[in-house]
Structure 1
């Protein structure tokens, strides 16, 4: 891969070069944004078992953060190696850093557990919808 000798030059269009006014360009961008907004929404389809697997992965990540907290606790309890002023200040900064890390890990654990619960709830909703659809089909004499 080669790099160009000069950076590309950009010259904004002017109304005198036949390119229209700047407002015409904004109108074109608005039309493009409107068509993008009306495009069908994307999505994902998961089986309930897949959602449970994803929830377990969030739980595993939360457990890893909990293990990390044990090491962060060591930082939060750091003591200086000596009684001199510099050691005490350094240890205080390490403790503050450890306390900040503990707080960040708590936030991450809470987030992971929240995500896991959302996936479990979604799995339950899907399973319930499947059960209800199966019952409806059975009531109509069909099979699922």
Structure 2
């Protein structure tokens, strides 16, 4: 195992044998970026983070759909024990759904923050391009 601080690598799917089959797709999370307009991440990293947070929200949504099955569990029989067990199971399913709702909301908000950062990044990029284009052409 490597020494040092773990570094996020965009594009790695941790279910690919803990990154053994990793397919990095770009970005620089964890790598120092030149100081300037105040951006911590480059554009590729921002796009990757939006995708990863959105994908995670989708995964939680699928889990929530499955949790609904737990929340509507019916007792297998008419006796007291079956009814009590089903009630506890439904309560558990409802708690799971509530927790997953919170996680979905959190992931969606994180993706939105990175989308906002991308907008600021694009605005700064456009401003820099405009400033460069206004400079005199050729050697003075």
Name 1:30's counterpart in structure 2: none
From 108, 113, 119, the equivalent of 1:113 is 108
1:142 CA displacement: 6.8
Name 1:25's counterpart in structure 2: none
Name 2:91's counterpart in structure 1: 96
Unaligned runs of 5+ in 1: 1-42
Match of 1:46, SS state, is coil
1:70 CA displacement: 1.8
Alignment length (residue pairs): 101
1:118 CA displacement: 0.6
Name 1:129's counterpart in structure 2: 124
Q: 2: CA distance between counterparts of 1:46 and 1:106?
A: 28
Q: TM-score, normalised by structure 1?
A: 0.65
Q: With a CA cutoff of 8 Å and minimum separation of 6, indicate the structure with the bigger relative contact order.
A: 1
Higher helix proportion:
1
Does the 8 A contact of 2:47 with 2:118 survive in 1? yes
Q: TM-score, normalised by structure 2?
A: 0.67
| CA RMSD, Structure 1 to Structure 2 (Å) | 1.9
Match of 2:66, SS state, is helix
**Dislocated runs of 4+, deviation >3 Å:** none
Name 2:47's counterpart in structure 1: 52
Unaligned runs of 5+ in 2: 1-37
Does the 8 A contact of 2:71 with 2:89 survive in 1? yes
Q: 2: CA distance between counterparts of 1:61 and 1:100?
A: 19
1:48 CA displacement: 1.9
